A and B are shown apart, each in its own frame.
Chain A
Amino acid sequence: MDKMIYAILSVKKKSGKLDALLATLKGISGASLYAVVYEGIIAVVSDIEKSDLITDRSNAIEYASIIESLVQQFPLLPMCYGSLMESTDAIAEMLGRNYTELRQNLKKVENMREYGLKIFCDPEKLKSEFQAISKNDINILIEPSTEVKNSVYREYVRNKLKEHRLEESIMTYVNSVIAEISGCLARLNAVCKFKKMPSATIMVDAVFLLRKDKKDELLKVVNDLKNQYQKLNFVLTGPWPPYNFVDTRIK
């Protein structure tokens, strides 16, 4: 039977608090949760048969709910779903091998929460808006250099330049939005990560890590941004455990 690891926690003092919490929770397939301890860092685990490790919506939500319950009381590093090891000894050895890095990451996320912000756009409207702006630039740039005014080659170059200018304009706009968000969140000492145009409709995909007592201020910032960029849709979710801010691969 394998061991499923849900999260790695930091517990300051030996107290019954964690055990009491684990007693109230059930893992995947209703398994009991227990702690594997190594010098103040703890892996929360349950026993699991590999055949029970089905990645469906229900199990994934169940898994995430355990992490969510734990993060309310302890700083933790959430594990990616499907984190299995063969025994508690192997887990303890793993915690020992990676102790320093785990400690550093746990310190980084203590009292912090993650939020996600996706900014959606209408790609056709965005293109139309920037096409109008860049049209004039293209006309100025392409001067007739020969007697043949409607050369197919000239048309090809014109279209290519138009596409390039359009992409450039849109990316400049996206960068300006990101700069605005970063500027506003700097006041909250938030750590920010951005992805630009991950899809045609998602203009910005951002995650922030900030102190858990800064939630209301974050809401105000995002509300102000939404009013500033009324053509864009802002989707803010959270608070989450720090899934996107645990930059480590465990050996």
Chain B
Amino acid sequence: MHNNVVDRSKDVTILELLDRVLNKGVVLTGDVVVSVADIDLVYLGVKLMLCSVETMNQLKSGKSLEKESNI
């Protein structure tokens, strides 16, 4: 159960991260338009209660995301 929630946490974090980096932030007018390869930003069947999750350091180091608190 715990591993399932942690894996789902990681999936959700990656989705959130990709959505921000690709769609948000400061935009340069006249940017190069880049094509998107193999990035699925669709939330499919997300049914989980999730705590706040750590972001980049855990993803990069491959550590399990720690639950800071149960929400």
Contact = CB atoms under 8 A, between A and B. Distances in A.
B32 to A, nearest CB: 5
Interface string A66-80: 011100000001111
A64 interface: yes
> Does more than half of chain B's interface fall in helix, strand or loop, or is it mixed?
loop
> Does more than half of chain A's interface fall in helix, strand or loop, or is it mixed?
mixed
Contact of B31 (A82, A226, A236): A82
Interface stretch (A128-136, A144-152, A172-180, A243-251): A243-251
Given A222-B71, A251-B29, A80 B21 contact: yes
B64 interface: no
Contacts of A57: 14, 18, 38-39
A83 B60 contact: no
Contacts of A78: 20-21, 24-26
21 contacts: A55-B22, A55-B39, A56-B37, A57-B18, A61-B60, A65-B56, A78-B25, A80-B24, A82-B33, A82-B34, A84-B28, A85-B28, A120-B46, A222-B71, A235-B12, A237-B16, A237-B53, A237-B55, A238-B53, A240-B20, A244-B20
Interface in B17-64: 17-18, 20-29, 31-39, 43, 46-53, 55-57, 59-60
Given A61-B59, A236-B51, A244-B20, A55 B26 contact: no
Contacts of B56: 61, 64-65, 68-69
Interface of A: 5, 8, 50, 53-57, 60-61, 63-65, 67-69, 77-85, 94, 115-116, 118, 120, 199, 201-202, 215, 219, 222-223, 226, 233-240, 243-244, 246, 248-251
A60 B17 contact: yes
A80 B32 CA distance: 11
Contacts of B57: 65, 68
A36 B33 CA distance: 23
Q: Considering residues A5, A79, A80, A219, which has the most beta carbons from chain B within 10 angstroms of its beta carbon?
A: A80
B26 A79 contact: yes
Contact of B24 (A219, A226, A243): A243
A246 B39 contact: no
Contact of A53 (B32, B50, B53): B32
Nearest to B33: A82
A116 to B, nearest CB: 6
Contact of A236 (B18, B59, B71): B71
Contacts of B43: 118, 199, 201-202
A243 B25 contact: yes
